[in-house]
Amino acid sequence: MSGSEKVGGGRRRERRKDDRPAEIIDAAIELFGESGFGATRLEDVARRAGVSKGTVFVYFANKEELFRAVAQTVLASKLGGVRSVATDFDRPVAELIPALLEQAAQVMESRLPAMIRLLIAEARQFPDLVRVWHDEVASKMLALVTGAIRAGQDRGEIKAGDPRIFAISIISPMFTLAIFREVFAETDIDLPDLGPLARQHAATILCGMLAPK
Amino acid sequence: MSGSEKVGGGRRRERRKDDRPAEIIDAAIELFGESGFGATRLEDVARRAGVSKGTVFVYFANKEELFRAVAQTVLASKLGGVRSVATDFDRPVAELIPALLEQAAQVMESRLPAMIRLLIAEARQFPDLVRVWHDEVASKMLALVTGAIRAGQDRGEIKAGDPRIFAISIISPMFTLAIFREVFAETDIDLPDLGPLARQHAATILCGMLAPK
DNA sequence: ACCGTTATTGACCTATTGGTCAATAGTATT
DNA sequence: AATACTATTGACCAATAGGTCAATAACGGT
């Protein structure tokens, strides 16, 4: 109570060079997520970050650059998750797939879907970001699953068929539901939860892919 | 050849009240699809429609209204496809699902994915459009599939499980691939085609859902 | 041919907002 | 306490693009 004021509305100008970028990025993540890139005003980002518009331009050359920073921040924070699953590569597919989908259900509970929505929205404006998103996340994910499928096929565990298509069959429900939840978030439309979807879909698709013994 | 000039670069001012709206909407579909809503200038829409900016405002109160018209046009033109599948409702699921996915593969070859991308992008800006899209397309689609699943379960054809989740398992790969193709369109990334996906996925998911005899 | 109607135009207005920068005020050092 | 340094500010600028409207010219009717 005595000396240290509550930070929120405390002194007006504080010099915190090191924390600013992260704070601005956080604010931008929220606002871009709420209103999209085009409709979000830098001044609002600044205000939410507790900073003036000028400060935003001290740390980010322009709006695009801020968007890049936002996208990379969210993507980077999720990379760990993907990696962790990538480690247990050569378990039997019957174990890998449920684990993978469970993991996906968790990851999709974060800010990632909002980010994905943004990337879908601005894909044409920021082709290089699409590239990053593909190289860092999508293709790695796909490669991981495809590899596991192929291994399973070699072992005679999995039916014949295009592994890339199997991979899409496996992961797309998580992707689709995550997007749907984003899009229909503000409405009263109710959708299944990610967890149950992950489990039932894992069982179904696995059963469809296992080679008949 | 004699009197009627080629329409394209013909006389500058023509009075064609009836055709203008459709022409403007067509131009807008293309441009919104290419650059998104925010980044598309009404003046460009006008030019592509062979008309001046003022004319656009004669037929559409503002940019939002034009967007609505665009969305509804594309949605409406696709409604027929959904309906046509809805008719053969109580065939055995083993026939219905491949047919449905084949149909979906075809529909996703149209402008619909671009429109879906747009709707995802602008969902927060146009909540009422999201509603339309849900009521007119998504929920009908879901209801159709869910209904068929339930019927199949009653007949003992299909395993126990949440029919809504089964429905997502069935259709989401088509949705996902369509979106991916949109997003990665400008890159050199190559993705599977919709047809093969539809067929292999139909076989896989069906096999996973059929009750063991 | 003439005229009245109105679809069409494009110059114009203006609000918005990304982006700049000289002034200001924290902070560290002495 | 005085000084130097620089993070922060917010008034300001300029460009862009949505939106308006009086003037114009295409068309139908007589």
* Residue among B139, B179, B196 minimizing CB distance to A120: B179
pLDDT number for residue A132: 86
Residue A2 has pLDDT above 70, yes or no: no
Q: Are B71 and B132 in contact, with CB atoms under 8 Å apart?
A: yes
Percent of chain A clearing pLDDT 90 (strictly above): 68
pLDDT number for residue B84: 72
Neighbours of A190 (CB within 10 A): 8
Q: pLDDT tens for residues A17-59?
A: 999 999 999 999 999 999 999 999 999 999 999 999 999 999 9
Nucleotide nearest to B18 (CA to C1'): C7
pLDDT number for residue A86: 64
Which residue is closest, via its CA, to the C1' of C6?
Answer: B15
| pLDDT confidence band for B88 (50 / 70 / 90) | low
Within 8 A of B37 by CB-CB distance, chain A residues are 38
Q: Are B198 and B174 in contact, with CB atoms under 8 Å apart?
A: yes
B43 touches strand D (CB under 7 A): yes
Residue A4 has pLDDT above 90, yes or no: no
Give mean pLDDT, residues B56-64: 97
Residue A5 has pLDDT above 60, yes or no: no
Q: How far apart are CA B166 and CA A203, in angstroms?
A: 11
pLDDT number for residue A76: 85
Stated in angstroms, how far is B185 CA from C11 C1'?
39
Within 8 A of A197 by CB-CB distance, chain B residues are 165, 168
| pLDDT confidence band for A70 (50 / 70 / 90) | very high
Q: pLDDT tens for residues B157-182?
A: 999 999 999 999 999 999 999 999 99
DSSP 8-state symbol, B90:
T
Give mean pLDDT, residues A192-197: 98
| pLDDT confidence band for A79 (50 / 70 / 90) | confident
Nucleotide nearest to B20 (CA to C1'): C7
Stated in angstroms, how far is B17 CA from D27 C1'?
12
Q: pLDDT tens for residues B176-196?
A: 999 999 999 988 888 999 999
Residue B180 neighbours by CB under 8 Å, 6+ apart: A138, B191
pLDDT number for residue A136: 84
Q: How far apart are CA A45 and CA B1, in angstroms?
A: 61
Stated in angstroms, how far is B122 CA from D8 C1'?
35
Q: pLDDT tens for residues B105-137?
A: 999 999 999 999 999 999 988 998 899 889 888
| pLDDT confidence band for A201 (50 / 70 / 90) | very high
* Residue among B172, B192, B209 minimizing CB distance to A165: B192
Q: Are B115 and A120 in contact, with CB atoms under 8 Å apart?
A: no
pLDDT number for residue A182: 94
Q: Rounded to two decimals, what is the model's pTM?
A: 0.91
Neighbours of A168 (CB within 10 A): 25
Within 8 A of B161 by CB-CB distance, chain A residues are 200, 204
| pLDDT confidence band for B27 (50 / 70 / 90) | very high
pLDDT number for residue B43: 98
Residue B213 has pLDDT above 80, yes or no: no
Mean of pLDDT over chain B: 89
Give mean pLDDT, residues B37-63: 97
Nearest CA to B25 out of B53, B58, B66 is that of B66
* Residue among A36, A186, A208 minimizing CB distance to B204: A208
Q: From the centroid of its chain, how far is CA B21?
A: 21
Residue A10 has pLDDT above 60, yes or no: no
Which residue is closest, via its CA, to the C1' of D17?
Answer: B41
Give mean pLDDT, residues A184-211: 95
Residue B7 has pLDDT above 90, yes or no: no
Residue with tokens 């193709």: B181
B17 touches strand D (CB under 7 A): no
Q: How far apart are CA B119 and CA A12, in angstroms?
A: 41
Q: Could A184 and B130 be called an inter-chain contact, meaning their C-beta atoms sit closer than 8 Å? A: yes
pLDDT number for residue B11: 58
| pLDDT confidence band for B151 (50 / 70 / 90) | very high
